[in-house]
Structure 1
Amino acid sequence: MIETIATAALAVNENLNIQKRRIQNGKSKKRLSLVTGTHGDELEGQYLAYIVGSYLDEHIDRLDGIVDIYPALNPMGIDSITRGVPMFDLDMNRVFPGSKDGTMIEMICSMIVDDIVGSDVCIDVHSSNIFLQEIPQIRMSVPTAPVLLPYAKMMNVDFIWVHDAATVLESTLAHTLNTRGTKTLVVEMGVGMRITKEYCKQLFDGIFNLLKELGMWSGETAPVREPIVSEGREVGFVNSDAAGIFVPCVSFGETVEKGNHIGDVVDPLSSKIVEKVDAVCDGMIFTLREYPVVYGGSLLARILQPASGGTEE
């Protein structure tokens, strides 16, 4: 069943409609919400919504509960390949919880929150932007970790990043839902404007494992991996000092030692290496620059340091 959960009038007799698909079977009232499309340049979740929904359709008899799929919270952004909300130049994930008496986007955000609240678990799927590639990971703030970590470990991701809460996070969908009692996991994976099928399949397996653990799924599930958790660890940031083209020489997810050569910034005009880029610490590379054009200060990589000495096993 497809429902319109929020609507607002646009110019020329058009409407902005936010829709969800509800898939329901059995007597259980447990509900899992799968949310994506908050940023118009993040497309991994589009394919994930498709494969989750189609698999549930094929095996509906094995579902006992409700799965709500919200494929596009920012449909105008997806239509125009724009990260934010077109015309308003707004990052939608900086407007929550919104307001029923606010601007059009604030009103839409408020209606979205009202519809998702009450889910047993919400999975908020994001991709990276066009500049960085991210290993499949779940991010959460330190205050929410005691509640969210057990669920995150069921999700078949490679990495769980528990980080200090920043003020800006208070205006995200995940923060709003978590403060209102709806357990919400933020997934980051892949790179902007692309679909990485293997990452989507990895998270697909995690979602059905979570459904199984919630007692909502009686079908078979694939084994899930044990994620690396960042608790008690530092993250090293590798930034460029020079402008040019970044050419990495390490693989995504590789472990390195401090001082290891991980790439070069080259100048196409002079045909010279203008910066040799070295690892700033031991650890695992979980973010790597995808878009090669860089300037001074551009983020090239993030490295998760080991809990105590040495590189990751």
Structure 2
Amino acid sequence: MTSQGSLIASTVDFSREGFQKGALMLPHSHDRSAYGRIPIPVVVLKRGGGPTVLLTGGNHGDELEGPIALMKLIQRMSTLEINGRLIVVPGLNFPAFQNGTRTSPIDKGNLNRLFPGNRSGSITEMIAHYVNTELFPISDVILDMHAGGVSFQHAPALLASLPANTAQHDDYLRLVEAFGAPTTMVMNLLGEDRTYGAAAERQGKLFLCGEFGGGASCSPDNLKIVEDGLHRVLHSLGLINEAPATPAKPTRLVKVEDSGHYLFATASGVFEPCFSLGDRVEKGQLAGRLFDIEAPWKPAEELYFGRAGEVMVQRTFSHVAAGDCIAVLASQTTWH
């Protein structure tokens, strides 16, 4: 039995030569629009026989460096001399991007936890299904740009992991080096396999992600890292002829090893941090104090780091609930 195609229809023809701008028409039937569609902007440029590169942002709607970099790229795409095909979707979970929230206001869907998606599922599941069945198969290299969103500050880092196929390692490392992020981080997601990246890798695609800032704001420094990095990757692939204005600098490699590199809240309350983003901390070092706002006379619970490392992620909100991630550490590593 063959699988059914996506219910999302594109107004652009991905096989057509030239520059096109249009939308992915996401069906959304609701009280005020029985046959409604949500148009998700998409731009494609195709010339020559080079590789197909898919660039996306807005996987989470409150992470802005990626979408802004991609919208700036879109505004000059029609003038680019390329050899291949470039597909750009700056606000992939468009309802969330419109709303400036991590998840969709329609179904509360977190797109980056819904792959491979569902053709007949919720709005966000349908987006995941379209990406997985329509965009991934036609792409050779995929880059998805993130940031920490409203709840995190994230040190700027390219997220990377060597493909399972060892024959792809050299090509993959060339992309990492071309992007030239200050830090490249191999992240243990503690078994999470519903992500965009996990789905892309299951299809054997060369995939890079990145976290560049946080707080639902746009940092000029981090935006430049994204813009320059994307330009260098596209140039290294031979997709664009325009040489990068800024050469890549060596990247340092760090790794989130296991759950010991995560710090979670043990109860609800207000957290007083005893660390800052970028700090190097030791195992057993005091991470902060958790105050019970219902019983402020009780001694604060002290939380300690379970491993040594560098603070790569710090929670924005001091109010926490049990299980909230407060910090993520990483340690220096090598590829092999």
TM-score with structure 1 setting the length: 0.80
Structure-1 residue corresponding to 2:184? 159
Match of 2:86 among 56, 67, 74: 67
Q: In structure 2, what is the equivalent of residue 202 of structure 1?
A: 225
Listed one character per residue, the Cα deviations across residues 27-78 of structure 1 (whole Å, up to 9, x for unaligned) are: 3432221111222233332212123334556x624x4433221012221122
Contact between 1:42 and 1:128, CA under 8 Å: does it hold in 2?
A: yes
Superposition pairs of residues 137-152 of structure 1, within 5 angstroms? 137-140=157-160, 144=164, 146=166, 147=168, 149-150=172-173, 151-152=175-176
Pick one of 230, 240, 249 that aligns with 1:217.
240
What is the one-letter code of the residue matched to 2:276?
S
Number of residue pairs the alignment of both structures matches: 303
What does residue 85 of structure 1 align with?
Answer: 104
Partner of 2:138: 118
RMSD: 3.4
Given candidates 148, 152, 156, the residue that maps to 1:132 is 152
**Does the CA-based 8 Å contact 1:124-1:186 persist in structure 2?**
yes
Q: Secondary structure at the match of 2:66?
A: helix
| 1:186-230: CA deviation from partner (whole Å, max 9, x where unpaired) | 222322522223212112111111112111233234233433334
How far apart are the structure 1 equivalents of 2:268 and 2:125? 39
Partner of 2:195: 172
CA deviation map 1:210-255 (0-9, x unaligned) = 1121112332342334333346955522334565433435432222
Q: Note the residue ranges of structure 1 that are not aligned, 5 or more in a row.
A: 309-313
After the TM superposition, which residues 18-57 of structure 1 pair with which residues of structure 2 at under 5 Å, given as runs? Answer: 18-24=40-46, 27-54=48-75, 56=77
1:60 is matched by which residue type in structure 2? L
User: Which residue of the other structure, out of 5, 24, 39, is the alignment partner of 1:17?
Assistant: 39
Write the distance in 1 (CA, Å) between the matches of 2:322 and 2:121.
39
Judge conservation of contact 1:154–1:206 (CA < 8 Å) in 2.
yes
Change in 2 beyond 3 A, CA 1:129/1:271: farther
Q: How does 1:101-116 map to 2 (within 5 A)?
A: 105-113=124-132, 114-116=134-136
| Residues 107 and 122, structure 2, Cα contact 8 Å, conserved in 1 | no
Q: CA separation in 1, counterparts of 2:51 and 2:97?
A: 30
Q: Does 1:299 align with 2:325?
A: yes
- Deviating more after overlay: 272-281 vs 73-82: 272-281
For 2:112 and 2:102, how far apart are their aligned partners in 1?
10
Secondary structure, counterpart of 2:300 in structure 1: strand
Structure 2: 5+ residue stretches without partners: 1-19
TM-score by length of 2: 0.75
Q: Distance in 2 between matches of 1:88 and 1:305?
A: 37
1 CA distance for matches of 2:286 and 2:256?
26
Instruction: Name the SS for the 1:160 alignment partner.
Output: strand
In 1, the alpha carbon distance for the partners of 2:256 and 2:290 equals 32
Deviation at 1:99, TM superposition (A): 4.5
**What letter is aligned with 1:287?**
V
CA contact (8 A) 2:212 2:226 kept: no
| Contact 2:272–2:289 under 8 Å retained in 1 | yes
Match of 2:8 in 1: none
* Cα pair 2:287 2:305 within 8 Å, conserved: yes
Partner SS state of residue 112, structure 1: helix
The 1-side partners of 2:61 and 2:256 are apart by 34
- The letter of the residue matching 1:299 is C
